[in-house]
């Protein structure tokens, strides 16, 4: 039974819970017991008898012998194999014993071939026995090259010991084991990881790294459960938080091990009687954890399809926006409430109460679109009792049609003048007291707000007000395995040198964000130069362990006027605002960063006669290539 169906969640938001089993030659009975009786959604089961060794059957008519698999493919329908069975492989590929190593390579390839034949969705690979995994990774990488749909899931214990102390099986940090294997397998998108959740968890910072990795499953051993006051299994608060985080990242949960809780005798009197599955109480608790999660807010539901989906940023100067894009932005009421608050404060500062009926404030909305800022400005004037004259400047002729209809419909003919022109080339008949614009991009200046506002400030009075008055870009290093693989799938340089707008979800934010570039308006400097350079140092928390940086997440924060701000920088983000997703700058080669070795990032904003672009690189702990030199792959056209 889907965990989600128990809590009234939508089918698309369901999560599933599997159970790890021993080898069985009778797969239909195995499924009947664990799925029909136990209520689990699927089983993790060995595909071949663990005692099988190819070298022991060679020379004994091996060519006529069938592989010791768990039954014929005909015992289940293809859909049952695909939906209800995940294979478990056995491997000793890195054994010092040559015969055992060769046997293991042969068996592993046979197991994967059989899993592919059955159309299984995934196969679980065991954790390597030693510290070296090179030969194991080589064998798996060979297998990955021939796969199309099957996911290979690498199992590692969730361990990160403090200092030099050793954790499970001599490991100090299992992430290092996963990272070595993943890098040796060339970051293959068909390779993911399953985490064995232990009774003791690493620090929050250490756990956070995994949220950016391709974690497919969390294997919960019955030993990791506590016992509640009624004698039933439960998890610690930290374990509950971890599992909730996994659910939010569509990670499936697997229950493993023998029952270790002696349930109260009262449970024997239930209607299921002797047929109750021995691990059912563990499944019920996992389902309870999912049930008690808060349903997603409406806006988050709308944005589900955009999670970790790479989009090219807008080119607002080169291209005219479509009606659908305007409509999406106009639905963001929070943004326009903030703009209205800023205009209210500016009008009050501009015109004292005693002169409110005498003075008329000239307000120019540059980049008026279909009129939401015009409306917000007029509402601010009404709220403050100030008289205003509005110029709505818009270059998109299609949006100008809408503006004319809006003015006529609202009866604003005597107040609003529409100018169909690129703001940079307009010759205004009078100067403005207040200049209002909505030109910010996900990185603040990436939609050329500096260049546009520099071009229009010539018709702002010397003591005039610009809304926004300033904006600052921010970046932070992230682990983002999915985003990296999506970029890598294009198999070219250009996509690694392009910035993407993306609703970040399956990412690990490795260090607090830092400010990059700040622009202030109006800027009456005689030598206006919008080129910028910044060097930044990021330090991982000391208890996090090492991490792999796939790229840089970018944000902005803007001061509209005085204490009214707008932004998406995580620590100061404006609540309930959805007009901007963060921006993502990928790295061609991911960089391993250790807590004792800071990440040194260099960032440039470059300007040419017809375009503006960014360049970025990492110089420490290991140098990366320079990205997007001369704007060869990605730029914003003037």
| pLDDT score of 638 | 85
The model's confidence at residue 265, banded by pLDDT at 50, 70 and 90, is low
Residue 586 backbone dihedrals phi, psi, to 5 degrees: -75, 160
| Pairwise CA distance, residues 534 & 206, whole Å | 29
| pLDDT score of 104 | 86
Tokens standing for 396?
A: 């998109």
Averaged pLDDT, 454-471? 94
DSSP H or E stretch at residue 160: none
| pLDDT score of 6 | 43
| pLDDT score of 274 | 54
Q: Is the pLDDT of residue 625 over 90?
A: yes
Please check if 355 is assigned to a binding site.
Answer: no
Task: Tokens 């979800």: give the residue.
Answer: 505
310: which residues sit within 8 A by CB, 6+ positions away? 483, 486, 487, 500, 501, 502, 584
Of the ranges 59-73, 130-144, 151-165, 411-425, which is most confident? Answer: 411-425
| Pairwise CA distance, residues 170 & 163, whole Å | 13
Averaged pLDDT, 347-358? 95
423: which residues sit within 8 A by CB, 6+ positions away? 366, 367, 393, 395, 452, 455, 456
| Pairwise CA distance, residues 107 & 89, whole Å | 9
Q: Is the pLDDT of residue 166 over 80?
A: no
Question: Which ranges of 390-448 would DSSP assign to H, the alpha helix?
Answer: 397-410
Which one has a higher pLDDT value, 101 or 499? 499
Q: CA distances (Å), 118 to each of 18, 43, 81, 194, in order?
A: 18, 15, 6, 21
Averaged pLDDT, 57-73? 67
Question: How many CB atoms are located within 10 Å of the residue 327 CB?
Answer: 10
Query: Of the given ranges (91-95, 407-411, 432-436, 576-580), which has the lowest mean pLDDT?
Result: 91-95
User: What is the DSSP pairing of strand 151-157 with strand 122-125?
Assistant: parallel
Nearest CA among 142, 140, 146, 82 for reference residue 115:
82
Please check if 533 is assigned to a binding site.
Answer: no
Query: Of the given ranges (295-304, 366-375, 433-442), which has the lowest mean pLDDT?
Result: 295-304
Please check if 326 is assigned to a binding site.
Answer: yes
557 touches 572 (CB < 8 A): yes
User: What is the DSSP pairing of strand 85-88 with strand 599-607?
Assistant: unpaired
Please check if 561 is assigned to a binding site.
Answer: no
| pLDDT score of 493 | 97
Dihedral sign, CA of 255, 259, 264, 267?
Answer: positive
The model's confidence at residue 287, banded by pLDDT at 50, 70 and 90, is very high
What three-state secondary structure class fits 633? Answer: coil
Which one has a higher pLDDT value, 99 or 81? 81
| pLDDT score of 268 | 45
User: Helices 237-248 & 280-291, crossing angle to 10 degrees?
Assistant: 70
165: which residues sit within 8 A by CB, 6+ positions away? 172
Task: Tokens 């000793």: give the residue.
Answer: 92
The rounded mean pLDDT for the chain is 90
Task: Tokens 């409406």: give the residue.
Answer: 298
The rounded percent of the chain whose pLDDT value lies above 90 is: 77
| pLDDT score of 205 | 95
Domains along the sequence of the chain with CATH: 17-261+275-295 (3.20.20.150), 323-438 (3.40.50.150), 470-637 (2.70.160.11)
The model's confidence at residue 63, banded by pLDDT at 50, 70 and 90, is low
Query: Of the given ranges (89-98, 350-359, 627-636), which has the lowest mean pLDDT?
Result: 89-98
Question: Which ranges of 58-155 would DSSP assign to H, the alpha helix?
Answer: 78-84, 98-117, 134-145
| Pairwise CA distance, residues 210 & 479, whole Å | 8
User: Helices 174-184 & 134-145, crossing angle to 10 degrees?
Assistant: 50
Q: pTM for the complete prediction?
A: 0.92
Q: Is the pLDDT of residue 78 over 70?
A: yes
pLDDT tens figures, 486-496: 999 999 999 99
pLDDT tens figures, 226-246: 999 999 999 999 999 999 999
What three-state secondary structure class fits 14? Answer: coil
Averaged pLDDT, 164-178? 71
| pLDDT score of 267 | 47
Question: How many CB atoms are located within 10 Å of the residue 61 CB?
Answer: 8
Q: Is the pLDDT of residue 429 over 70?
A: yes
pLDDT tens figures, 516-569: 999 999 988 777 789 999 999 999 999 999 999 999 999 999 999 999 999 999
Tokens standing for 351?
A: 């015109």
| pLDDT score of 64 | 52
In the beta sheet, which residues pair with residue 152? 123, 191
Averaged pLDDT, 25-52? 92
| Pairwise CA distance, residues 444 & 515, whole Å | 11
The model's confidence at residue 1, banded by pLDDT at 50, 70 and 90, is very low
Using H for helix, E for strand and C for coil, what is the string for 307-329? ECCCECCCCCCCCCCCHHHHHHH
Which one has a higher pLDDT value, 518 or 314? 518
Q: Is the pLDDT of residue 160 over 70?
A: yes
| Pairwise CA distance, residues 537 & 516, whole Å | 11
| pLDDT score of 161 | 75
| pLDDT score of 58 | 60
Task: Tokens 């006051």: give the residue.
Answer: 229
Query: Which positions are annotated as active-site residues?
Result: 438, 447
Residue 501 DSSP one-character state: E
* Cα dihedral 173/176/181/187 (nearest 10): 130
* Cα dihedral 135/136/140/142 (nearest 10): 10
| Pairwise CA distance, residues 84 & 102, whole Å | 31
568 touches 501 (CB < 8 A): no
27: which residues sit within 8 A by CB, 6+ positions away? 45, 70, 71, 75, 76, 85
Query: Of the given ranges (53-67, 233-247, 607-621), which has the lowest mean pLDDT?
Result: 53-67
Question: Which ranges of 351-437 would DSSP assign to H, the alpha helix?
Answer: 372-384, 397-410
Which one has a higher pLDDT value, 128 or 514? 514
The model's confidence at residue 441, banded by pLDDT at 50, 70 and 90, is very high
The model's confidence at residue 272, banded by pLDDT at 50, 70 and 90, is very low
Half-sphere exposure of 563 (CA within 13 A, CB side): 0
Q: Is the pLDDT of residue 167 over 60?
A: no
| Pairwise CA distance, residues 447 & 444, whole Å | 7
Task: Tokens 């049609």: give the residue.
Answer: 401
Averaged pLDDT, 376-397? 96
What three-state secondary structure class fits 154? Answer: strand
The model's confidence at residue 298, banded by pLDDT at 50, 70 and 90, is confident
In the beta sheet, which residues pair with residue 365? 392, 436
Please check if 26 is assigned to a binding site.
Answer: no
| Pairwise CA distance, residues 346 & 488, whole Å | 48
Q: Is the pLDDT of residue 168 over 60?
A: no
Q: Is the pLDDT of residue 259 over 50?
A: yes
| pLDDT score of 70 | 75
What three-state secondary structure class fits 38? Answer: coil
489: which residues sit within 8 A by CB, 6+ positions away? 189
| pLDDT score of 568 | 97
């Amino acid at each position: 039974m889907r965990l989600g169906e128990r809590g009234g969640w939508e089918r698309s938001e369901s999560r599933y819970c599997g159970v790890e089993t021993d080898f069985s030659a009778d797969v239909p009975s195995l499924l009947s017991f664990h799925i029909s009786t136990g209520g689990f959604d699927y089983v993790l089961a060995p595909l071949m008898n663990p005692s099988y060794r190819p070298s022991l059957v060679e020379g004994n008519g091996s060519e006529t012998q069938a592989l010791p698999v768990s039954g014929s493919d005909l015992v289940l329908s293809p859909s049952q194999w695909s939906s209800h069975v995940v294979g478990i492989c056995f491997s000793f590929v890195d054994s010092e014993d040559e015969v055992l190593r060769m046997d293991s390579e042969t068996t592993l390839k046979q197991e994967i071939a059989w899993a592919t034949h059955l159309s299984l969705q995934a196969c679980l690979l065991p954790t390597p026995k030693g510290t070296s995994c090179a030969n194991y990774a080589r064998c798996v990488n060979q297998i990955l090259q021939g796969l199309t749909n099957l996911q290979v899931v690498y199992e590692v214990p969730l361990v990160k010991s403090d200092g030099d102390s050793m954790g499970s099986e001599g490991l100090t940090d299992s992430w290092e084991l996963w990272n070595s294997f993943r890098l040796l397998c060339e970051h293959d998108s068909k390779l993911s990881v399953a985490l064995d959740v232990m009774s003791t968890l690493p620090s929050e910072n250490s756990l956070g790294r995994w949220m950016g990795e391709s974690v497919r499953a969390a294997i919960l051993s019955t030993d990791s459960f506590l016992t509640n006051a009624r004698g039933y299994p439960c998890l610690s608060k930290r374990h509950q938080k971890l599992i909730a985080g996994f659910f939010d990242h569509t990670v499936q949960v697997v229950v493993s091990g023998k029952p270790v809780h002696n349930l109260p005798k009262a449970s024997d009197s239930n209607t299921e009687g002797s047929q109750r599955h021995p691990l059912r109480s563990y499944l019920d608790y996992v389902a309870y954890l999912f049930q008690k999660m808060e349903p997603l807010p409406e806006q988050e539901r709308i944005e589900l399809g955009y999670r970790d989906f790479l989009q090219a940023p807008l080119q607002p100067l080169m291209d005219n926006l479509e009606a659908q894009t305007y409509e999406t932005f106009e639905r963001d009421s929070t943004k326009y409430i903030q703009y209205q608050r800023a205009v209210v404060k500016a009008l009050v500062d501009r015109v004292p109460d005693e002169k409110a009926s005498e003075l008329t404030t000239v307000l120019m909305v540059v980049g008026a679109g279909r009129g939401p800022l015009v409306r917000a400005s007029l509402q601010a004037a009404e709220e403050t009792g100030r008289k205003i004259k509005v110029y709505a400047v818009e270059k998109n002729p299609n949006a100008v049609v809408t503006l004319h209809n809006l003015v006529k419909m609202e009866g604003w003919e005597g107040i609003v003048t529409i100018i169909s022109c690129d703001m940079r080339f307009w010759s205004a008949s009078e100067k403005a007291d207040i200049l209002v614009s909505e030109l910010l991009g996900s990185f603040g200046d990436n939609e050329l707000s500096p260049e546009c506002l520099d071009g229009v400030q010539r018709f702002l009075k010397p003591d005039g007000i610009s809304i926004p008055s300033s904006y600052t870009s921010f970046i932070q290093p992230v682990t983002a395995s999915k985003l990296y693989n999506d970029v890598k799938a294009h198999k070219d340089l250009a996509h690694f040198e392009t910035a993407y707008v993306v609703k970040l979800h399956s990412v690990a934010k490795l260090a607090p964000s830092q400010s990059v570039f700040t622009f202030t308006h109006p800027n009456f400097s005689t030598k206006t130069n919008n080129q910028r350079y910044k060097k930044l140092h990021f330090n991982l928390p000391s208890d996090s362990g090492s991490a792999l940086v796939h790229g840089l997440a970018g944000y902005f924060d803007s001061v509209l006027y005085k204490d009214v701000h707008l932004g998406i920088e995580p620590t100061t983000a404006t609540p309930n605002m959805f007009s901007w997703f963060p921006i993502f700058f990928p790295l061609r080669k991911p960089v391993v960063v250790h807590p004792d070795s800071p990440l040194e990032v260099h960032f440039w904003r470059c300007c040419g006669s017809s375009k503006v672009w960014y360049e970025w690189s990492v110089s420490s702990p290991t140098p990366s290539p320079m990205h997007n030199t001369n704007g060869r792959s990605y730029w914003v056209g003037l």
